[in-house]
Amino acid sequence: MLTVFVTYHYFLGLRNLTVIHDAEKQIRRLHPEFDIRYIPDNDPETFAMLAEGKTQGVFQLESAGITGVCVNMRPTTIEDLTAIVALYRPGPMDSIPTFIANKLDNRKITYKTPLLEPILKVTYGCIVYQEQVIAIFQSLGGYTMGQADNIRRAISKKKMKIIEQERRVFVYGDKEQGIPGAMAKGVSEAAAQSIYDEIVDFANYAFNKAHAVCYAVVSYQTAYLKCHYPRQYMAALMTSVLDSAVKISGYIRECKELGIPVLPPDINHSEDQFTVEGDAIRFGMGAVKNVGRGLIRSIVAKRVADGLFQSMEDFLRRMGEGELNKRAVENLIKCGAMDCFGHHRSELLAVYDSMMDSVSASRKRNLDGQMELFALLDVEDKAAVIEIPSLPELSRADMMSMEKETTGIYISGHPMDDYRAFLKGSHVVPIGELMDEENPYADDSVVSIAGVVQAVKMKTTRNNSMMAYVTLEDDTASIEMLAFSNVLNQYGGYLRENSPVVITGRLSIRDEKEPQIVINRARPMSDFTQNPTQPAPAEEPPRKVEADKLYLQLQGESDPRYRKVKAILNMFPGDKQVVLFFADTRTRRGTAAALDERMLNELRSVLGQANVVLK
């Protein structure tokens, strides 16, 4: 079995083997003798954790459905985990309630013939594995192992002609093949027929036990690590999904549930991977966009060789020119990795560009041999120093937005933090629940969700009306929503990037597509915290512009941007004059709208700055 175990490991659990290996390395920094191969195989704390439903990050046991099985079954052995892995499939899944009931109360176990007891005792009277099917054909029908395996294959491939022919052989026997049949073994005809029916229903999707054991052992190992070394395991787990912001975000939430702080990226402490730092986990710089692995290795090497970086200028001077680019430095500032230097992010963002140019120019002068005497005497080149201005810090919302931009997740907080109390007591459904493969909500269900608008993409439909694709994200997942023209006209003012909103709509589930929400209603989340029963106002609190008239220029009425412009104006009803100028006919058309900064930004993104003029 060990050979099979290793073979399946490499093909079916490769990422998880890497997670186990990486966790082992971090554990050995504190416990050099630790070896995953020698952990106890019956650890009660590990099984208690699974029975409590704490399966997030555990191989094969993460989904909501299989977590429910763990809670109800309360596994106590690897044999139980093997059965869970094998049963949680179409066909065998129907046996789960019986399996659980029999496990919890052995008095409920029944066998259609005593011959089944030695075969099915280990699985509480239920057929779970392909090997059990083969054993039933051998023990009850008198088949050889080869004959039994042939019929197992025929059943799994749904060869109905062979299946029906073999029913007769299994029940009554076949002298030519040397098969006595179940009745010759003392099994009643009715019991034999019933057992054969059960085998046919089951074998279509059955796991072989060797396969299931391989999965179960890895499941147990990952559960053991999470239970006893949660910081090391969660750090390794997040490292394994560096390219998936959604998964990292989910695992960070799990860390919070486990009471493990996740520290922000830090130029002086972070490595490429997520690492354990005291009682916390340090965010890995490998998860920061546009910061390459080679650069990170160089940063770590220079820290080890020459000590921590003392300032941004010190960092820029010590890093080689070919290793660093402005986008990488900008993103390191935005995600908070340079907060350790004691300056506001706003201040560092204001000077990093000129500071990099200055350091580069200084380096070039040195290479050209144009060094001043004080440089030769190892005195600091004062002319190259760029003073960091004193500026107010960015708003909390802007900081979180930049963190999201550069890492794909919110680090220092979440835009929904102020609404946690409301959400806990509401009927709002976590988006992750809708996106789960075992989503309990049916197609066309009306649901309410809450989150932060991440993106809005306008589109013209076939009948020339406007619609929008809106991406909403909470701290469990994100989902695409559809907003048609009637919704845009009434609620479009709420559907702005970075806006926290509550959405009510119809769930749309289609084959081979991610679930979507067709929006019926939208409200700013702040409405619910102030007065949950008040009707949705017509507009979000405006950000007024001090002007009397707005001029917009388009090529003509056939300009494809015209419909988008009208849709935007409709979202901001008001009494300020708006003049549309059509260049091809040099004609004007008047309308009215509220002059709001958000509207102007939308119009500028469609028409360009020069074609949007305030008077």
pLDDT at 461: 81
Kind and range of the H or E element at 582? strand 576-582
Query: Which residue ranges does the chain devote to CATH 2.40.50.140?
Result: 417-530
Which residues make Cβ contacts (< 8 Å) with residue 247, sequence separation at least 6?
238, 241
Tell me what pLDDT residue 383 has: 45
Class at the top of the CATH hierarchy for domain 261-396: mainly alpha
Amino acid at 517: I
Q: What is the mean pLDDT of the chain?
A: 86
Residues in the chain: 615
Average pLDDT of the segment spanning 577-590: 87
* Nearest residue to 153 (alpha-carbon basis) of 80, 105, 203: 203
Separation of alpha carbons 342 and 353, rounded Å: 18
Taking the CA atoms of 58, 63, 64 and 66 in sequence, report the sign of the dihedral they define. negative
Tens of pLDDT along 205-246? 778 898 899 999 999 999 999 999 999 999 999 999 998 888
Burial 186-203 (b: 16+ CB within 10 A, else e): ebeeebbeebbebbbebb
Residue 423 banded pLDDT, cuts 50, 70, 90: confident
Kindly report which listed range (40-54, 209-223, 224-238, 484-498) carries the lowest average pLDDT score: 484-498
CB 277 within 8 A of CB 264: no
Tracing tokens 């009397």 back to the chain, one arrives at 548
> Looking at domain 417-530, which CATH architecture does it have?
Beta Barrel (2.40)
- pLDDT of 373 reads 46
Look at residue 8 and tell me whether its pLDDT is greater than 70. no
Q: For residue 338, which phi and psi values (nearest 5 degrees)?
A: -110, 15
More confident call, 608 vs 285: 285
Is this prediction's pTM over 0.85?
no
Whether the per-residue pLDDT at 463 is higher than 90: the answer is no
Report H helices in 289-437: 293-306, 312-318, 326-334, 345-367, 373-376, 396-407, 420-424, 431-435
- Mean of the pLDDT values across residues 359-374? 66
Contact 483, 499 (CB under 8 A): no
Give the closest residue to 435 by CA, choosing from 481, 503, 495: 481
Q: State mean pLDDT over 495-509.
A: 90
For the cut 50, the answer to whether the pLDDT of residue 417 exceeds it is yes
Candidates 196, 194, 205; CA nearest to 94 is 205
The predicted pLDDT at position 384 comes to 52
pLDDT 10s digits, 13-31: 678 999 999 999 999 999 9
> Per residue in 284-304, pLDDT tens?
999 999 999 999 999 999 999
User: How do residues 108-143 score in pLDDT, each as one tens digit?
Assistant: 999 999 999 999 999 999 999 989 999 999 999 999
Residue at token pair 């966009």: 289
| pLDDT, tens digit, 9 for 90 and up, residues 302-337 | 999 999 999 999 999 998 767 789 999 999 999 999
- pLDDT at residue 414 greater than cutoff 60: yes
* Concatenated DSSP letters of 472-492: EE-SS-EEEEEE-HHHHHHHG
Residues of the chain with CATH 1.10.150: 261-396
